[in-house]
Amino acid sequence: MERNRSIIPCYALRRELGLRNSSNVGEKYNDLVVSDRQKHNGMSWSPDGSGALAALATLIRNDEHDAWFRTGQIRFTLAA
């Protein structure tokens, strides 16, 4: 626990600041980007293949695939 203390969220503070205390958004995007594609039809994925597929699915979902394939760069912006 001590090793991870710096990354353990303070839920009371997050609530006070009006921030989310659930992982449901992250879990949903995991379903959309990774799980939905990789858990069907008895598919088996290597760690490298799984990571590569997740990266490509994320590029497509964020509409960054054209820029990535053209320039090798993507925009990095945070949603409000």
Kindly list the domain boundaries of the chain, sorted by start residue. Answer: 22-75
pLDDT at 79: 63
pLDDT of 40 reads 67
- pTM of the shown model: 0.53
| Backbone angles phi and psi of 46, in degrees to 5 | -75, 160
DSSP of 43-68, one letter per residue? ----HHHHHHHHHHHHHHHTT-HHHH
Residue 33, judged by CB atoms within 10 A of its CB (0-12, 13-18, 19+), counts as buried
Note the pLDDT of residue 70: 92
| Residue ranges for the chain with pLDDT beneath 70 | 36-37, 40-42, 78-80
